[in-house]
Amino acid sequence: MPVPHLATALTGPLLELERRILEAQPRIEHWFRSEWHNHATPFYGSVDLRNSGFKLAPVDMNLFPGGFNNLNPDFLPLAVQAAMSGVEKVCPEARSMLLIPENHTRNTFYLQNVASLVHIFEQAGLNVRLGTLNPEISVPTELTAANGAVLTLEPVRREGDRLRLADGFDPCIVLLNNDLSGGIPDTLSGLEQNLLPPLHAGWAVRRKSNHFEAYDKVCNEFAGLLDIDPWTINPMFSACRGLDFQSRQGEETLADTVSTLLERIRVKYREHDIKEEPFVIVKADAGTYGMGVMSVKRPEDVIGLNRKARNKMSVVKEGLEVSEVIVQEGVHTFETVNEAVAEPVVYMMDRYVVGGFYRVHTGRGIDENLNAPGMHFVPLSFESVCLPDRKGSPDCPPNRFYAYGVIARLALLAASLELEATDPDFN
Amino acid sequence: MPVPHLATALTGPLLELERRILEAQPRIEHWFRSEWHNHATPFYGSVDLRNSGFKLAPVDMNLFPGGFNNLNPDFLPLAVQAAMSGVEKVCPEARSMLLIPENHTRNTFYLQNVASLVHIFEQAGLNVRLGTLNPEISVPTELTAANGAVLTLEPVRREGDRLRLADGFDPCIVLLNNDLSGGIPDTLSGLEQNLLPPLHAGWAVRRKSNHFEAYDKVCNEFAGLLDIDPWTINPMFSACRGLDFQSRQGEETLADTVSTLLERIRVKYREHDIKEEPFVIVKADAGTYGMGVMSVKRPEDVIGLNRKARNKMSVVKEGLEVSEVIVQEGVHTFETVNEAVAEPVVYMMDRYVVGGFYRVHTGRGIDENLNAPGMHFVPLSFESVCLPDRKGSPDCPPNRFYAYGVIARLALLAASLELEATDPDFN
């Protein structure tokens, strides 16, 4: 596994943040332990981070993570151990798991991710099989992943309140690796089996703005613990509703929201003496896969979008229409690997960081979204686990990764608060 | 890390056992999950295994494991994660730990083990300091481990029901890496802090015969699960009490016990068509460090011991006198590494296997104790973690290590039952 050469010209503020995170490690871990004592950990998740040299912040939190195939295989045992811990919490009696992947089964890299997940849960000691919600698959079907792994997808059957396979396979746990962008299928409603993550974590219900609202709370508490400006780890945002990109309805409101947020960023940049040009990201409040995402530097950029841009913004995965967006403070990516722009992604299971990788893209700028359709990123797995090296400098790779792991876990904790706050059974 | 060349001429039976363990992996893991749901996991432990080609069995279970320095450093993150899990169970509010090592501070390899433990618990996010029970250390004292790591040992103070250090350090957890062979010091009795392992795990109270009695139960259940003869994973034993090696009191009884056990082994050897010569190990029922251990092939070998042998048998660590022994079925070590005899040792934290190593000794026979005083073993860490590779052959290294991890966890579970059965607060 090559060691990524981090060419980031790390300036004062981030080094200072990393130093503080490192010094406060026992306090941070103690705080996380107490928080996880009071809040249920999401079963798994991944967090997209951005490191601008003056700010280190999550920009997205995925509760149905793909990309496990991009992690350093040397550290998969950490994922297995974390999976054991997660299964023990959810259902210590579990013998078997039905894993339900996305329907886009032609993406052979995604299939590799599915194969990695199967491997992890098998090593954790479960009987794992793959069920599909794809109506096009009516019999057990073999698919081959990019690395040659062969997977058998089987149509699921709803029998009473249980999900089964045709031969009677009756799983204890149903694990979704399908983010339900297309809505919640009846097949999954009211199951008596353990369904993970819960249905309201799917993009049919979930809103990024709820997540970042929860993240605000988590950040403010954490920033108090470390005595830092929470802004250094938190991207500002505003939600904007009632849009119709095709008919241009609401574009003035959107421009106002963009304008206000850009002004708030300028104030923070002046306060922290930052010379960069502020920008915001406009993206669908529900949805994933980098569809419906725009990088915007001026409010007028969202007025009078051409047809292509309107099309791009108006629909995300599975044809879901976009009427709600989140306008999020853009965080420059100042990290580069071999002169290519790099964005770290951190993976977690239960409450543990199990690895991560850099999404490396040569053709994109530091203020662009790196997770875009058709994007050909090169994954570069972290060369060490996210544990601190107290004797190293604050920005040596283990400590850099530790800081990433801490910020990612803040986002995981925010997801936990978010799922509590949006749980239909308790609201 | 070199890959150990396992020269074991593995004959049918063990391959068969390894195959069954591998095939039953989901059943085994499910069973462990249920067991750990009902029994508290010891905080940490190590198990000495023996692999004779026809039998794979634990011969000792250490609840105060040294040797963490011998594990593959690449896998220390597994220990850190397991430590996080263990701490979360015992005391989620914990911020700090006082680690109390053995008093034999001149063993610089042992000090390396202490440094490894400090590192693991620091990475898990605790403030860790070292307290000593050694009356010769009255002020904070720096000691240097074999690898140059510097440790500061500080005298402990009992203040009310709490253990503290001179500057007021007031740990949440007191972790013993001292097996209390010399008795339970008043300083440790009735502490309100979390004391791990509990005092009755120390050799002042603990008896190997209690452990192997519990192991009998665990094995019988496990053997039923796999449909194997429990003898293939369980060394037979008898306890023998009221001995005085110096005055030769009880040696006839001991010879009878040896004779009976040798006969029982012969019966099993005939049943399994094994041509090897049976032997038994006579060792102190309480104690460790391979003192007071004899390998015996004939009952008369324990009659009329010469002075040297009597001295060797009569006293173990810290001058503890031996009046109780356990006579244990000897398990040949048929594993060799580069033609040297090798004995695997497996390390666990919480309920997780975190690594292991081979104790490799060129100067000893296959029926001798490899953990003897003055023994200069070469540690050879396992080159992979103890997770199965279902696509590999039953005896490929990952699967061999998985089987070792399973048997070691049976011993850990037995230790859990043993500690329940011998807990003075519940008996």
DSSP string over B134-190: -TT--S-EEEE-TTS-EEEEEE-EEETTEEE-TT----SEEEEES--TT---GGGTT
Beta-strand pair B340-349/B352-361: antiparallel
pLDDT interval class at A85 (50, 70, 90): very high
What is the pLDDT at residue A306?
84
A390 CB within 8 Å of a chain B CB: yes
Instruction: Kindly state the average pLDDT of the residues A235-245.
Output: 92
Instruction: Kindly state the average pLDDT of the residues B413-422.
Output: 97
Examine the pLDDT at A345 and tell me if it is beyond 80: yes
pTM, 2 dp: 0.90
pLDDT of residue A291: 61
CA–CA separation, B192 vs B152, rounded Å?
25
| B130-135 mean pLDDT | 94
Do the Cβ atoms of A29 and B126 come within 8 Å? yes
pLDDT tens readout for residues B61-102: 999 999 999 999 888 999 999 999 999 999 989 999 999 999
Which site among A30, A383, A391 would you substitute to test the B interface, given the most B Cβ atoms closer than 10 Å to its Cβ? A30
CB contact under 8 A, B93 and A34: yes
Strands (E), A288-422: 293-296, 325-329, 336-337, 340-349, 352-361, 378-381
Are the C-beta atoms of residues A21 and A31 closer than 8 Å to each other? no
Q: What is the mean pLDDT of residues A401-417?
A: 96
Tokens 């239960």, residue located: A350
Tell me which of B80, B81, B194, B351 to substitute to probe the interface with A (most A C-beta atoms closer than 10 Å). B81
Tell me the percentage of chain A whose pLDDT exceeds 70. Answer: 89
Overall average pLDDT of the B135-140 stretch: 94
Question: With bands split at pLDDT 50, 70 and 90, how would you rate the model's confidence at A3?
Answer: very low
Give pLDDT, residue B3. 36
Token code pair at residue B123: 């990475």
Interface mutation target, options B33, B225, B352, chain A, most CBs of A under 10 Å: B33
Secondary structure (DSSP) of B62-99 = ESS---GGGS-GGGHHHHHHHHHHHHHHH-TT--EEEE
Q: Mark yes or no for CB contact A124/B29 under 8 Å.
A: yes
Report in angstroms the alpha-carbon separations of B1 from B67, B76, B108, B405. 17, 14, 22, 20
* CATH number for the segment(s) B74-201: 3.40.50.11280
Identify which of B88, B125, B352 has the shortest CB distance to residue A25: B125
Cα–Cα distances in angstroms (integers) from residue A399 to residues A27, A73, A395, in the given order: 16, 21, 6
Please state the rounded mean pLDDT for residues B234-244: 93
Query: Between B25, B33, B81, which is nearest A92 by CB?
Result: B33
pLDDT tens for A296-305 read: 999 999 888 8
Q: How confident is residue B210, by pLDDT bands cut at 50, 70 and 90?
A: very high
Residue A5's pLDDT band, with cuts at 50, 70 and 90, is: very low
CATH 3.40.50.11280 residue ranges in chain B?
Answer: 74-201
Yes or no, beta carbons of B29 and A352 under 8 Å apart: no
Over residues A122-146, the mean pLDDT reads 95
Is the minimum CB–CB distance between A388 and chain B shorter than 8 Å? yes
Judging contacts by C-beta atoms under 8 Å, the chain B residues touching residue A75 are 77
CA distance B34 to B397: 28
Q: Which residue of A has its CA nearest to B29?
A: A125
pLDDT at A404 over 80: yes
| Burial letters A87-117, b for 16+ CB under 10 A, else e | bbebbeebbbbbbbbbbebeeeebbbbbbbb
pLDDT digits (tens, 9 = 90+) for A165-193: 999 999 999 999 999 988 899 999 999 99
More reliable by pLDDT, A251 or A407:
A407
Question: B390 vs chain A: nearest CA distance in angstroms?
Answer: 9
For residues B187-211, one letter each, b for 16 or more C-beta atoms within 10 angstroms of the residue's C-beta and e for the rest, the string is ebeeeebbbbbbbbbbbbbbbbbbb
Distance in Å, alpha carbon of A302 to nearest chain B alpha carbon? 46
Inter-chain contact A95–B30, Cβ cutoff 8 Å? yes
Residue A23 has pLDDT above 60, yes or no: yes
Mean pLDDT along residues B280-305: 84
Shortest distance between the Cα of A94 and any Cα of chain B, in A, equals 7
For the residues B132-160, what does the mean pLDDT come to?
A: 95
pLDDT at A8: 43
Query: Could you tell me if A149 lies within 8 Å of chain B, comparing CB atoms?
Result: no
pLDDT, tens digit, for every residue of B3-49? 344 444 344 566 788 889 999 999 999 999 999 999 999 999 999 99
Q: Which of B29, B80, B347 best tests the A interface by mutation, with the highest count of A CBs <10 A? A: B29
pLDDT in tens, B318-365: 666 788 899 999 998 877 766 777 889 999 999 999 999 988 876 666
Residue A7 has pLDDT above 50, yes or no: no
Between strands B127-132 and B150-155, the pairing is parallel
